[in-house]
Structure formats: structure tokens, C-alpha cells
Amino acid sequence: METTVPGWETVARSCFFLGTSASLLLSVPGVTGLQGSTMLESLEDADFERGMANESDVHAFFSLDYQHVQVPFEITLWIMLASLAKIAFHLFERLPSVVPESCLLIFVGLIMGGIIYGLNDKSPPVMNSDIFFLYLLPPIVLDAGYFMPSRPFFENIGTILLYAVVGTIWNVFGIGFSLYGICQVDTFHLRDISLLHNLLFSSLIAAVDPVAVLSVFEEIHVNEKLHILVFGESLLNDAVSVVLYKLFRAFCEMPSIQTTDVFAGIGSFFVVGIGGVLVGLLFGLIASFTTRFTDNIRVIEPLFVFLYSYLSYLTAEMFHLSGIVAIIACAMGMKRYVEANISLKSHTTIKYFMKMWSSVSDTLIFIFLGVSTIGDNHEWSWPYIFFTIVFCLLWRALGVLVLTFIINRLHVNTVTSKDQFIIAYGGLRGAICFSLVFLLPDFQRKKLFIAATTVVILFTVFVQGTTIRPLVDLLDVTRKQESTPTVGEQIHIRFLDHLLAGIEDISGHWGQYYWKDKLEYLNSKYLQKFLLREYAQPKSSIVLLYEKLERKHAIELAETGQLMYGPSHHPLLHTDKPPTSVIESDSLSLDVVDDIQKILERNLYKTRRTVPAYNRHTLPPGESEPAEHAKQILILRHKNWQMQMNSSDSDHVIKEKGDSGSLDGGTQPGPRLCRSLTAKHPRETPNVKSNRSRSVGFIIPLRQGTPQWMNDQETSKSPISEEK
Amino acid sequence: MGARHSQPVSVPEQEEIMAETGFSQANVECLYQRFQVLDKEEKGYLSKSDLEGIGTLAINPIGDRIVGAFFQDGRETADFRTFVQVLAHFRPVEESASSEGVNSRLSKLQFAFQLYDQDKDGKISRAEMLEVLRMMVGIQVTDEQLESITDRTIQEADKDQDGALSFAEFAKSVEKLNIEQKMSLRILK
């Protein structure tokens, strides 16, 4: 893009804007039509007849029958608008980093709402709560649950649950009671809002919204643990807020409240939460089981993942359990087994479709939020709204402080004060609050609540969303390097990062072993046999092994010691030192440090920590690039071992073999295997045979390989010894 | 922390280990449990293949070197004491720490230096630097580029112009880095 003339770029962008605004205008009749479609159907019948009458009058070659396609047409136009708006934002590279996308989308929504209001002179369509809860929310939550990195999630599950459950309850009651206190002040004319109404309002405004959090947090790069804390909290607090909301709503309608009702409420919390998890796991189990049998119809495999997840959501909602918790439990539960059962292409399809749907949903939600803001739905009361915002911030900050204090006493991994600030400040409210407020029963002050909710959401998304990034940067008080790091520093930094990651792997993660081991035991004993297609280590085919050498598989293979297939690196050898066509055109005048810096930046392997696990716009980067790196590393390592084997004398080799008692088929049989097959050292072959049965298991399938393969091995041995 | 506080774990040489590494008793016990998990066949010591069997370590570019750090001086086995001694380098630094402890900045740097300097001559030669660089960089980088980068690295830090980096030069080149943070694991506190 940098090579094109700047003029062309602006032309392209302005064309794009014209296109976007054209679609905006086009969707206006769509929206007015949408309004019509949500109204009574008798109107539609009348239109239909009119349409019929028109047609019979004139036999035209070209006639317009809008009513026929109205609903799908409008839906498509809205989605089109959302997607075009998204593209438009990303055309300006700097803009998404300054203003979070959600703000811009709400802004577009506001404009749309304004246009509709101006044209129609009546309120634009309000986002239907059903549409939101049944159609727009599930894809986002599914996407979040499916790509949730499970290790950090379960490591921090205690903290997350504490924030989600206790924190939300704290917020709800805190905000509710403080607002009630404000209402008691006579000058504000708010006396008529009862305590119960206040609590009802606070129950829907207190919960942190996953959609908003996600969209803002991905632009500030915080460390993995922090991300998972806020994110996990925003997902799990749904259970609590659902219970409290329904509880207070039921209380509003009951004439009198007894203590048994309160206890029933507390009990229902457990039912909702645990019930949601159980429903999700059940559907996850069924989904895994189903994918066991799909090897003949690969094409519909992705469909099962989506169908079962959606079913779990709907089932949970049907029983008034927490649908969000259910869908997350389903996604996390089935992921492992489904990914083992389905083909690679289905795998990619699932990931892409999930990203796509969640992206669209996300955009639509924010646009609708903007649209629904304009209109006559609001009753304004400065004090109430102002104090709502103040109390939301205040109680969240207090809650985070207190809870973190408790957590830091119990855990080794402390939550620093900078983390605490981000958790407190990153508690954004979003569309869930908005939909819940519209579901409130109609009573006198409902419009006030709607107005307050709208203001809080807009405030959190705009103000907090925009300022969180500069604040995070400001708080990063660690010494900033005034100058760019020298080449040596860059290398050493990366070296130390790798070192630390390695030491971390060696020292392991403490405290989780008990449950993890139990779960692993359960898994290997029962679940795997039931849910996986063939539980076979990839011993049978070397080609299959090479194809499956994704990063995760590479880790597993290393752990079971199955890595040392000589010919598995054989195809790669020929591409190892690629001809100049593959190399990028780096200038060879490497006296300039800049070039070196660029090369290093591009080519140094990244550590686990620097690769973010969850990304809104693309597939997790952990899928393509680090997989390639992992392959290269393994292959290089294998070559090194080979070289060591080849260059050391046989005495040394025999000594090593005798000594390493725990022969998990580790380093020893592999290279020796290759060498025996190259028939260079016939006396090595008896050593191979005398190895343990596990390694013999390697040999047998290899022998069943075609002679052609063995010839390949022969010919490739010369490059092996030539390399390095 | 650990899930097994109720059972007292008998750790060999516990007192000596606590004294020389500065780990608390709870930490030593956790490390011992980890040691036992790694030592799959309950030999009482670790061999290289035990550590190489850690999956994420196998795809670490410098995994070999890290494993080698536990098996210095040509040893083939690592007992628990050695295990803890190596890990002790990564304890976070306390406020009042002197520069003598095993987790001081100096000690951490010496540990890192050892990983570069394989032949233990006290200097990182050009060949050693090149080797490390080769491990950390993708296969697209040509040998010429690697050599240039290595030359540049050595040239930047080599004050006495002997074509190799001594420990002092190495320490100087990383003086701006926050080694205390970069080489500390919070859980080892």
C-alpha cells in the first residue's frame, strides 16, 4: 500500500465512504420498513392486497414487490451496514488505536438513529430484547468461550468466581442502597422510587458486560492473567445478575416479601449457576459423541458445533438458567474432543465462522445501541443519572480493592495495584444492561431508568473505553527506554524471555495438580474411549504425523517421547535452506543497524507470553506462525541430535544408551533408528532391537513402510551429513 | 498454594537446601512434588529425557541449553538439590538483598552467561554467539545475515577488542535491562 500514490488512497477511501453512505441511505427505507414489520400484521395484509391490486392493473415488465422480501432484505441491509462500517474504520489505521471500535459503532448508530428520527419524526425501532438475547448475544459468547485459553482460566478460577459472584452482589447492593439514599433527598423529587425499584435497577446496571469488555480490552495489551480475570468475570457474572434481576422483579410484583423468599432467592442462584454448567456440559458431551461418527460426512461437522452450542444456550434459557454460563461450559467442554475428532478443514471452518458471526453480532449490537438511544424513551433527571455513574465507579473500585485484598492474602500470584486499577476501570457496561432495562415491567419511572442506563453505557464505553489505553500507558512506570534497544540488547532480551518461559515450564504450576490429575485420570479412563474416534497415537503413518505437527500436537508428541521420526523432517530438508526466491529482499548491506533490527524483529521466535491468546479480528495467532516455528525448532533440534550422534564415537553412544534408564523412546532410539536404516552401522541394529517395547512400537510401523520410503531415507542421508 | 498441606512431605536435605537457596519450606515442598512428578520412574534423580519430555520445553528455541543447565560438568543425572539450586536463581529479588545471594542480579547474570558460554572459557566467542542466534531465529535468515548480526552484536559490546564477550562486557551490555524482573518467577517467591 505504501507504494501507491497517496492520491489514489484518498480516492479509494472516499469512494468507500460514498458506498457506505449510499448503503446508509438505502437502509433507511429498510429501517422504516422494519418498524412496520414489528407492528401488527393486519397492516401487512392491507399492503399485500394493495400490492396485488397494483399488479393486476398494469402488466409491467418490471414491477416492485417489496413486501415479499421485506424482512430478509432489511436484515441483510443492517448486517451490510454494520460490516461496511467496520471496514471503513479499519481503513484508517490510526483510528482504531485511539478510539475503540465500539465507540465508533455507537456513533454510527447514533447518526442512523438521528436520520431515521428526522425522516420519520417518530422514534426509531428499539432493539428488541428477544432479538438481542436469542440471536445477537449467543455468537459472541460462543466465540469467547471457544477461544478461551483454558489453562489461565482454570488457574485463576477462584479469583474469577470471587470477583464475579461476590463482587457483583457487592456492587448490586451497594449501588442499590446508595441510590435509595439519594432518592430520599427531597430536592431531587425522586421520593417515589422505592428501595425495591432501586435494587432492581442496580441489579441490571451493576454487571460488567462481556461484549464491551472484549471490544475494549483487545486494544490495550494487558498481560494474559489480567485479561482472563476481567473477561472471565464479565462472563460469569451473568449467572448472578440474572438471578438478582429475576428475584427483584418477582419481588416487585409480590405484595409482601418474607424471609423464605429471600432464601429461595439465594438457593436459586446456585441452581442457576450450576444448572447452567450442567446443561452446557451435557450438550458438550453429546456434541463430542456425535462428532465421533462424522468421518464420512466431513462437510457438516462444523454445523454440529454450532447447533449443539446454540441448543445448550436455548435450553438453559428455557429453564431460566444462565444461558451464557451454559454455552461457555459447552464450548470449553467439547472443544478438546471435537478438535480431535474432526478434520483439519472443519476445524478451520469452525473458527472462521465463529469469528465472523461474533464480529457481525458485536457490530450490530453497538449500532442498535446507538440507534435506540435517539428517541422519546427518556426521562431526564440530572441527579439520579449523575449519582448512578458516580456510584457505579465508586462501588466497583471499592469492591475490587476489598476483594483483591482478600485474594492477595490467599494466593501466591498477587494482583498488583496497577492490575487492580485496570480491573476497576475496565468494568464496562454494555448492551446486556440495555436489553434488560427494556424488559422491565412498565411502571412510572421506567423511562428514567432507561435514560440512566443509556447514559451509563455511553459513559463507560466512550469515556472509559477511550481513556483506558492512555491511562494504562501512563501507569506503565517501568523504565522506558529512551533509545531503541541495541542489537545485542534485543537478542539478550529475547534470550532471557525464552529462558524464563523454559524455567517456568520446568517449575510447573503449583496447586492445580490435584484436580488436574483427577480430571486427566477421568479423561483417559472413560471419556476418551467414549468420545474420541480412534484413540490412537499417530504411530501409523509418518505422513500423517508430519501433517499433524501443529504446535499443540508437537507438545504432546514431545511429552510422550514420540518425536524422533527421522524421515519426518525429510521433506523439510529440501526446503530448509531455501533458494533465494523465498528470502525476502533484505538488502545485504547489513552495516546498517536498521536492517538488522528489522530482520530480528521479523524472524526472532516469539515466546509464549508475547503472543496474545485471544484476538477479536483474526484467528488466534497461535495457530499459524508459532506452529511453523515449533516445527522448525523441532526439526533443527533433531538435526542437532543427529549431528551429535554421527560425530560422537560409538563408545559414547553405547554408554549413553545404557545410562538413560527412563527410555521413553526419548532421544535415543530415533537417531539410531535412522542410522540403522541407512545400514551404515550394522552393529547398531542389535541395540535398537534390545530397546524397550515402546520404542519397538516405533520400528514396526516403519518397517511396514514402502521400500520407496526407505530409498528416500538412503538418499536423504547425504544431505543430513552435509548440513551444518 | 499446594493442595496437600495436610501430608508432611519428607524432603531430603531440606534444611541445607533452605539455607543455601533461601526458599521457604512450603516452596521447597512444592518443588519436591514437582520434582517427583517430573521423575516419572521414581528413580530419585532426573535424567535429561525427563526434562526433555516437557512438551513446551521441546519447542522452546533454547530448550536444549536450559536442560543442559541442570546437567553441568558432563553429569547425566540431576538430584533434587541440583534441581532446586538451578531454580533458585529465578527467585524474585527481595528489597534488602545483598549482591551475594543466589538470586541476586549478579548471580542471575552469571547463570545467563553460562548458557551462552558452552565451553566454559569465561568468554562468549563469536561462534558461541552465532550458535545461540541461529537457535533463536527462523530458517529464513541466511547464514550471511546471521554472521553480520553476530559481528554487530559482538562489536557493540566488545570493549577490549578481543573478538569475544567477557562476563563484564556482557553485564555492561545488559545493564539497562531490568534483569531482576526478567529473570524472576513470581511463584518461586
Output A497 or A127, whichever has higher pLDDT. A497
Report yes or no on B174 lying in a domain. Answer: yes
B130 and B54 co-located in one domain: no
Across the interface, whether the CB atoms of A511 and B3 are under 8 A apart is answered: yes
Q: Which of B33, B43, B49 to mutate to test the interface with A (most CBs of A within 10 A)?
A: B49
Could you report the per-residue pLDDT of A391-441, keeping only the tens digit for each? 899 999 999 999 888 888 876 566 777 788 888 888 888 888 888 887 887
A480 chain-B contacts, CB cut-off 8 A: none
Distance of CA A581 to the CA centre of its chain: 37
Among B32, B64, B91, the domain boundary falls at: B91
B9 and B77 co-located in one domain: yes
Cβ B71 vs Cβ B48: under 8 Å? yes
Residue A676 pLDDT: 31
B187 chain-A contacts, CB cut-off 8 A: 412-413, 507, 509-510
The answer to whether B114 faces chain A, any CB pair under 8 Å, is no
Pull the grid cell for residue A376: 422519546
Rg (CA), chain B: 19
Cβ A137 vs Cβ A209: under 8 Å? no
- pLDDT category at A714 given cuts 50, 70, 90 is very low
Nearest to A478 among B63, B116, B178 (CB): B178
B19 and B87 co-located in one domain: yes
A488 chain-B contacts, CB cut-off 8 A: 152-153, 156-157, 173
Helices and strands, number each (H, E), in chain A: 35, 0
Looking at residue B152, which CATH number applies to its domain?
Answer: 1.10.238.10
Number of domains in chain B: 2
d(CA A293, CA B88): 51
Mean local confidence (pLDDT), A668-695 = 35
Cβ A22 vs Cβ A81: under 8 Å? no
Within 10 A of B64 (CB to CB), how many other CB atoms are there? Answer: 20
Measured CA to CA in angstroms, residue A457 lies from A190, A309, A387, A453 at distances of: 22, 29, 14, 6
d(CA A632, CA A197): 62
Please measure the distance between the N-terminal and C-terminal CA atoms of chain A and give it in whole angstroms: 39
d(CA B154, CA B129): 8
Across the interface, whether the CB atoms of A663 and B49 are under 8 A apart is answered: yes
The closest alpha carbon to A54, from A44, A45, A65, belongs to A65
Pull the grid cell for residue A331: 464450548
B65 and B118 co-located in one domain: no
Pull the grid cell for residue A380: 431526564
A508's enclosing H/E stretch is none
Name the one residue in this structure whose C-alpha cell is 528489597.
B95
Residue by residue, DSSP assigns A364-388 as HHHHHHHHHHSSS-----HHHHHHH
Nearest to B34 among A508, A603, A660 (CB): A508
Name the one residue in this structure whose C-alpha cell is 451493576.
A206
B52 and B103 co-located in one domain: no
Residue A318 pLDDT: 92
The answer to whether B122 faces chain A, any CB pair under 8 Å, is no
Name the one residue in this structure whose C-alpha cell is 456510584.
A391
Could you report the per-residue pLDDT of B107-127, keeping only the tens digit for each? 888 888 888 888 888 888 888
A208's enclosing H/E stretch is none
A260 Cβ contact list (under 8 Å, min separation 6): none
B80 and B112 co-located in one domain: no
d(CA B32, CA B28): 6
Nearest to A555 among B55, B179, B189 (CB): B55
Across the interface, whether the CB atoms of A662 and B50 are under 8 A apart is answered: yes
B33 chain-A contacts, CB cut-off 8 A: 510, 513
pLDDT at A351 over 80: yes
Residue A281 pLDDT: 93
B152 chain-A contacts, CB cut-off 8 A: 487-488, 590, 593, 596
User: Per DSSP, what are the bridge partners of residue B78?
Assistant: B46
Residue A314 pLDDT: 94
Cβ A342 vs Cβ A301: under 8 Å? yes
Cβ A687 vs Cβ A663: under 8 Å? no
pLDDT at A312 over 90: yes
Across the interface, whether the CB atoms of A667 and B157 are under 8 A apart is answered: no
d(CA A71, CA A563): 56
Residue A569 pLDDT: 38
Query: In chain B, pLDDT over 90 holds for what percent of residues?
Result: 0
The closest alpha carbon to A215, from A554, A465, A552, belongs to A465
Nearest to A503 among B87, B132, B157 (CB): B87
d(CA B68, CA B62): 10
Q: Which of B51, B60, B89, B150 to mutate to test the interface with A (most CBs of A within 10 A)?
A: B60
Report yes or no on B76 lying in a domain. Answer: yes
Could you report the per-residue pLDDT of A582-630, keeping only the tens digit for each? 333 333 344 556 677 777 777 777 666 554 555 555 555 544 566 666 6
A659 chain-B contacts, CB cut-off 8 A: 47, 76
Least Cα separation, residue A279 to chain B (angstroms): 29
Q: How many Cα atoms within 13 Å fall on the side-chain side of residue A672? A: 27
Q: Which domain holds residue B62?
A: 1-91
Cβ A413 vs Cβ A225: under 8 Å? yes
d(CA B70, CA B56): 17
B4 chain-A contacts, CB cut-off 8 A: 514
Among B47, B74, B91, the domain boundary falls at: B91
Residue A374 pLDDT: 78
d(CA A393, CA A399): 10
Cβ A296 vs Cβ A345: under 8 Å? no
Which residue in chain B is spatially nearest to A594 when comparing CA positions?
Answer: B149
Across the interface, whether the CB atoms of A603 and B137 are under 8 A apart is answered: yes
Nearest to A661 among B47, B63, B135 (CB): B47
pLDDT at B6 over 60: no
Name the one residue in this structure whose C-alpha cell is 545475515.
B145
Across the interface, whether the CB atoms of A488 and B157 are under 8 A apart is answered: yes
B40 and B114 co-located in one domain: no
User: Per DSSP, what are the bridge partners of residue B165?
Assistant: B124
User: Per DSSP, what are the bridge partners of residue A574?
Assistant: none
Q: State the amino acid at position A268 in one-letter form.
A: S
Among residues 19-78 of chain B, which lie with CB inside 8 Å of chain A? 30-31, 33-34, 37-38, 40-41, 43, 47-64, 66, 76
CB pairs under 8 A between A and B: 225
Pairing between β-strand B46-47 and β-strand B77-78 as defined by DSSP bridges: antiparallel
d(CA A649, CA A512): 44
Measured CA to CA in angstroms, residue A573 lies from A359, A568, A625, A717, B134 at distances of: 40, 10, 19, 11, 16
Report yes or no on B189 lying in a domain. Answer: no
Among B91, B108, B135, the domain boundary falls at: B91
The answer to whether B132 faces chain A, any CB pair under 8 Å, is yes
Least Cα separation, residue A646 to chain B (angstroms): 18
Could you report the per-residue pLDDT of A620-675, keeping only the tens digit for each? 554 456 666 666 777 766 666 666 667 664 444 444 444 433 333 333 333 333 33
Within 10 A of A238 (CB to CB), how many other CB atoms are there? Answer: 27
Determine whether A266 is exposed, middle or buried from the number of CB atoms within 10 Å of its CB (0-12, 13-18, 19+).
exposed
Query: In chain A, pLDDT over 70 holds for what percent of residues?
Result: 62
Among residues 142-181 of chain A, which lie with CB inside 8 Å of chain B? none
Across the interface, whether the CB atoms of A593 and B185 are under 8 A apart is answered: no
Residue A658 pLDDT: 40
Q: What is the mean pLDDT of chain A?
A: 70
pTM metric for this prediction: 0.65
Phi-psi region of A320 (alpha: psi -120 to 50; beta: other; left: phi over 0): left
Determine whether B149 is exposed, middle or buried from the number of CB atoms within 10 Å of its CB (0-12, 13-18, 19+).
buried
Interface predicted TM-score (ipTM) over 0.95:
no
Report yes or no on B154 lying in a domain. Answer: yes
d(CA B84, CA B35): 9
d(CA A523, CA A565): 28
- Lowest pLDDT segment from A309-323, A495-509, A564-578, A616-630: A564-578
Report yes or no on B28 lying in a domain. Answer: yes
The b/e string for A587-610 (b: 16+ C-beta within 10 A; e otherwise) is: eeebeeeebbbebbeebbbbbbee
Report yes or no on B188 lying in a domain. Answer: no
d(CA B109, CA A97): 37
B138 and B112 co-located in one domain: yes
Report yes or no on B33 lying in a domain. Answer: yes
B129 and B154 co-located in one domain: yes
Least Cα separation, residue A556 to chain B (angstroms): 6
Q: State the amino acid at position A617 in one-letter form.
A: H
B106 and B178 co-located in one domain: yes
Which residue in chain A is spatially nearest to B51 when comparing CA positions?
Answer: A506
Report yes or no on B116 lying in a domain. Answer: yes
Nearest to B1 among A412, A498, A507 (CB): A412
Pull the grid cell for residue A65: 414487490
Residue A546 has φ and ψ, to the nearest 5°, of: -65, -40
Cβ A109 vs Cβ A371: under 8 Å? yes
Ranges of H-type helices in A165-220: 168-184, 195-205, 210-217
Q: Which of A575, A662, A695, A723 to mutate to test the interface with B (most CBs of B within 10 A)?
A: A662
The answer to whether A496 faces chain B, any CB pair under 8 Å, is yes
Which residue in chain B is spatially nearest to A660 when comparing CA positions?
Answer: B47
The answer to whether A579 faces chain B, any CB pair under 8 Å, is no
Residue A298 pLDDT: 84
Across the interface, whether the CB atoms of A511 and B2 are under 8 A apart is answered: yes
A588 chain-B contacts, CB cut-off 8 A: 144-145
The answer to whether A590 faces chain B, any CB pair under 8 Å, is yes
d(CA A487, CA B34): 37
DSSP-based helix, strand, coil % in chain A, nearest 5? 75, 0, 25
B99's enclosing H/E stretch is none
B8 and B62 co-located in one domain: yes
Which residue in chain B is spatially nearest to A628 when comparing CA positions?
Answer: B138
B123's enclosing H/E stretch is strand B123-124
The answer to whether B183 faces chain A, any CB pair under 8 Å, is yes
A510 chain-B contacts, CB cut-off 8 A: 1-2, 30, 33-34, 187
Q: State the amino acid at position A414 in one-letter form.
A: T
Nearest to B187 among A412, A495, A515 (CB): A412
d(CA B182, CA B92): 10
The closest alpha carbon to A439, from A37, A132, A113, belongs to A132
Nearest to B53 among A486, A561, A628 (CB): A561
Residue A282 pLDDT: 93
Across the interface, whether the CB atoms of B40 and A664 are under 8 A apart is answered: yes
Across the interface, whether the CB atoms of B136 and A502 are under 8 A apart is answered: no
Pairing between β-strand B123-124 and β-strand B165-166 as defined by DSSP bridges: antiparallel
- pLDDT category at A331 given cuts 50, 70, 90 is very high
Residue A15 pLDDT: 55
Across the interface, whether the CB atoms of B53 and A633 are under 8 A apart is answered: no
Cβ A33 vs Cβ A70: under 8 Å? yes
The b/e string for A323-354 (b: 16+ C-beta within 10 A; e otherwise) is: bbbbbbbbbbbbbbbbbbbbeeebbebbbebb
B64 and B126 co-located in one domain: no
Measured CA to CA in angstroms, residue A702 lies from A59, A241, A566, A697, A714 at distances of: 76, 58, 10, 9, 14
Residue B85 pLDDT: 87
The answer to whether A654 faces chain B, any CB pair under 8 Å, is no
Least Cα separation, residue B43 to chain A (angstroms): 9
Least Cα separation, residue B98 to chain A (angstroms): 22
